[in-house]
């Protein structure tokens, strides 16, 4: 088991815990930014949200025609220590993360990761602000 130090109060604790036991501080970014690699436009997400053709329309990406109304779900997860992307069972085409279909249990996303529809359409870069 490894231990970490809170970035805010300095308390020593298990790094597996994303929230400081002493002060409640967490390093998980408040905002996740999705950027279209085609248009360069971005969408900011600040809370757990189902993402799809409607709330991704600001990306102005022509590939949005392949995007379902519910394509994937983003969750700011304290227990998993980051933003997690989950597949949507209602998506006509599966969402991929870094070239692999997202599993049912979801995956933690990191800055620079790529989201797409089957690795072919709607290429989105993940970053944080």
Could you tell me which of 68, 44, 42, 72 has the C-alpha nearest to residue 54? 68
**Residue 121, both tokens:** 């359409």
Among 5, 9, 54, 60, binds Zn ion (CB under 5 A): 9
Cα 12 to Cα 2, 5, 19, 72, 82, distances in angstroms: 10, 4, 12, 36, 20
- The interface region with Zn ion, picked from 19-27, 38-46, 99-107, 111-119 by CB under 5 A, is 19-27
6 binds Zn ion (CB under 5 A): yes
Could you tell me which of 7, 29, 125, 43 has the C-alpha nearest to residue 83? 29
Among 11, 30, 60, 111, binds Zn ion (CB under 5 A): 11
Among 3, 5, 8, 16, binds Zn ion (CB under 5 A): 8
Name which of 8 and 47 has its Cβ closer to Zn ion. 8
**Interface positions with Zn ion (CB under 5 A):** 6, 8-9, 11, 20, 22-23, 25
């Amino acid at each position: 088991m490894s231990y970490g130090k809170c970035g805010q109060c300095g308390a020593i604790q298990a790094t597996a815990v994303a929230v400081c036991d002493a002060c409640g501080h967490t390093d998980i970014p408040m905002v996740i930014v999705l950027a279209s690699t085609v248009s360069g436009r971005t969408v900011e997400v600040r809370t757990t949200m189902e993402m799809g053709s409607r709330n991704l329309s600001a990306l102005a990406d022509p590939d949005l025609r392949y995007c379902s109304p519910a394509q994937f779900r983003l969750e700011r997860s304290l227990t998993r220590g980051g933003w997690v992307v989950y597949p949507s069972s209602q998506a006509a085409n599966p969402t991929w993360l870094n070239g692999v279909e997202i599993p049912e249990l979801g995956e933690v996303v990191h800055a620079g990761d790529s989201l797409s529809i089957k690795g072919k359409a709607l290429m989105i870069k993940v970053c944080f602000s």
